[in-house]
Structure 1
Amino acid sequence: MNSKFVGTGVALVTPFNSDLSIDHEALKNIVEFNIENGTDYLVISGTTGESVTISRQEKKDIIKTISDANNGRVPMVLGIGGNNTASIIEEIKTTDLSEMDAILSVAPYYSKPTQEGLYQHFKAISEACPIDVILYNVPGRTSKNMEPSTTVRLAKDFKNIIAVKEAGNNVAQYLQLIKDKPEDFLVISGDDDLALGVVLAGGAGVISVIGQAFPKPFSDMIRLGLQGKAKEAYNLHYKLMDVIGYIFEENNPAGIKAVFEALSLCSDKVRLPLVPASLQLKAKIERFVREFQ
């Protein structure tokens, strides 16, 4: 099993200044905050990083900032995905992946391919990618579910497809994947609210949104789950449960950025078409942060 992706990964935000340029100082601070408090690996330029509104040059700058701040301490995963297979392959071939441990590639959105189309898409990516590939199934955003049979087929056919980040909020699908997967293939939760249950059922961990704001209790929860200590782990889950709901109440990453603003780690700024969290949601988040122990 690829143990470097067992535990808690975090889908890092991209902090912005008031003019919506990237706040690299805040990004460094968030990376340091996570590594110091037990986060196992970092995921760069995913949905939570507002990847669809980040330019290619900005992406390079973000990678450099995170790489420099990390300084080789924990594994790193880079988001390279989309709905144009040829464009993804071109990005893989023209990106310096020497410091990355894997790419995270989302299932094609909007196009709604068949299961065979999904298989052929990821086959092409696997064959073009010189490092490991983590599949990312998030049907709420892509409008197409990658069925467990397709994920398992890919896992069996391609050595460098080592894991899936499953984010369908579908308990039955998680269990099917855990039951049918090859022994060394990782099922990683992409649903913060289900992550502990997935781990206790045999999952490898989580790529989390909320974990980056509360890295110690969240990563402790996952660690306890991996050790089979369900009661102790659920004690932490219940403490975090309300804020997990809050951050997804309006949109991601506006919710998690409101948490970071309450923690004085970065501003709540997001790029259009997203807008910052409402005053009502911010008030709930600020109260939670103030009272959390």
Structure 2
Amino acid sequence: MSKGYEEIKQKLRGSICPVITPFKENYEIDFEKQSELIEFQLENGTHGISVTGTSGEPSSLTVEERVQVMENAMETINGRVPFAPGTGSVNHDETVYLTKKAQEMGADAAMVIVPYYNKPNQHGLYKHFKTVADSVDIPIIIYNIPGRTALNMEVSTMARLVKDCPNIVGVKEANKNFEHVNRVLLNCGRDFLLYSGIELLCYPMLAIGGAGSISATANVEPKKVADMHNAWEKGDIKKVQDLHFELMNLNDVLFKDTNPAPSKAALGMMGKINPTLRLPMDLPSKALQDEIRQTLKQYNIEASYEI
């Protein structure tokens, strides 16, 4: 690993918020609101920013819009925290293009999802990621989310990629199989950056040597999510445990419908965005909206806006 990668690896830790993509009522991207959401994150201690990951509805965006969202985020962040946009796609050439764009605009890393729907075999998966990694010099974070992609990157494939691609530095594991997660660090190296994409595993992954989390819940409660990592760094295990359990009800309600619909509903109730999603995504049911509002009140989060 080159010195450059080692330096950024030390920075790419803690709570990296996968910021949602706000839309106006006419479904156009609301770049002003996007910038406000990023400022909200930074004011509350979030350690890094990602956009156009799952929470950012990338499949609802054109390739050009994804570039625009990344550029707006990059400009808003202005070097204050690391920036690692999602650049993956079901389409290989799009993935290469978007990852190159991330490098061109100065992103600190790129997060590349395991391709969804087409279910390549492990060798195809290896070739896809190796080609993407070889096309750029910035660090690559693999995004493994079997529940969305219908495909799991096996530990042996990940370890092979880490061996052959010096800039593949980490993985976001939205994987409920905790045995798999343990074997990732065993086989990819204890310095491999392991991020939790499963909210209830944020603390357990830290306990085995994880680098942090990329949690949708941070969109709604950024301070508590960031504080968990701050407490871990200080060795305050009791506080980490307390925050782990304190966040559980919010984590649960924000995933009772497909992400990011509940998070957008919550942010709408908080008055931070117009909670519009592009079809086929839609807001949660009225019953779940009521549950989200009540849960926000339990966390002393102002939720007085109608959506």
The question of a shared fold, defined as TM-score above 0.5 by the shorter chain, is answered with yes
Asked if 1:50 is matched to 2:25, the reply is no
In 1, the alpha carbon distance for the partners of 2:137 and 2:170 equals: 16
% identity of equivalent residues? 34
Is contact 1:24-1:62 (8 Å) kept?
A: yes
In 1, the alpha carbon distance for the partners of 2:107 and 2:125 equals: 24
In 2, the alpha carbon distance for the partners of 1:198 and 1:137 equals: 15
Asked if 1:87 is matched to 2:94, the reply is yes
In 1, the alpha carbon distance for the partners of 2:104 and 2:189 equals: 26
Instruction: Look up the match of 1:22.
Output: 29
Instruction: Look up the match of 1:104.
Output: 111
In 1, the alpha carbon distance for the partners of 2:109 and 2:187 equals: 23
In 1, the alpha carbon distance for the partners of 2:113 and 2:67 equals: 19
Q: CA deviation at 1:204?
A: 0.8
In 2, the alpha carbon distance for the partners of 1:243 and 1:276 equals: 17
Instruction: Look up the match of 1:195.
Output: 202
Q: 2:254 aligns with which of 247, 257, 265?
A: 247
Q: 1:238 aligns with which of 221, 235, 245?
A: 245
Structure 1 counterpart of 2:39, one-letter code? E
Instruction: Look up the match of 1:4.
Output: 11
Is contact 1:166-1:174 (8 Å) kept?
A: yes
Q: 1:120 aligns with which of 127, 131, 141?
A: 127
Instruction: Look up the match of 2:139.
Output: 132
Is contact 1:200-1:230 (8 Å) kept?
A: no
In 1, the alpha carbon distance for the partners of 2:108 and 2:298 equals: 37
Give TM-score scaled by structure 1 length. Answer: 0.95
Q: CA deviation at 1:59?
A: 2.1
Consecutive unaligned residues in structure 1, runs of 5 or more:
none
Instruction: Look up the match of 1:40.
Output: 47
Structure 2 counterpart of 1:257, one-letter code? K
Assess, with a 3 A threshold, how the Cα gap between structure 1 residues 117 and 23 changes in structure 2: closer, same or farther: same
Asked if 1:278 is matched to 2:289, the reply is no
Indicate the SS of the match to 1:97: helix
In 1, the alpha carbon distance for the partners of 2:76 and 2:159 equals: 35
Structure 1 counterpart of 2:56, one-letter code? G
Instruction: Look up the match of 1:181.
Output: 188
Is contact 1:200-1:226 (8 Å) kept?
A: no
Is contact 2:74-2:107 (8 Å) kept?
A: no
Which 10-residue stretch deviates more, 135-144 or 82-91? 82-91
Indicate the SS of the match to 1:136: strand
Is contact 2:103-2:136 (8 Å) kept?
A: no
Asked if 1:149 is matched to 2:168, the reply is no
| Equivalences, count | 293
Structure 2 counterpart of 1:40, one-letter code? H
Instruction: Look up the match of 1:172.
Output: 179
Asked if 1:224 is matched to 2:224, the reply is no
Instruction: Look up the match of 2:303.
Output: none
Consecutive unaligned residues in structure 2, runs of 5 or more:
1-5, 301-307
Assess, with a 3 A threshold, how the Cα gap between structure 1 residues 170 and 228 changes in structure 2: closer, same or farther: farther
Assess, with a 3 A threshold, how the Cα gap between structure 1 residues 44 and 219 changes in structure 2: closer, same or farther: same
Q: CA deviation at 1:227?
A: 4.1
Q: CA deviation at 1:168?
A: 1.4
Which 10-residue stretch deviates more, 224-233 or 103-112? 224-233
Structure 2 counterpart of 1:175, one-letter code? N
Structure 2 counterpart of 1:87, one-letter code? E
Is contact 2:70-2:102 (8 Å) kept?
A: no
In 2, the alpha carbon distance for the partners of 1:60 and 1:155 equals: 27
Which 10-residue stretch deviates more, 52-61 or 266-275? 52-61
In 2, the alpha carbon distance for the partners of 1:3 and 1:95 equals: 20
Is contact 2:195-2:213 (8 Å) kept?
A: yes
In 1, the alpha carbon distance for the partners of 2:19 and 2:108 equals: 16
Give TM-score scaled by structure 2 length. Answer: 0.90
Asked if 1:77 is matched to 2:84, the reply is yes
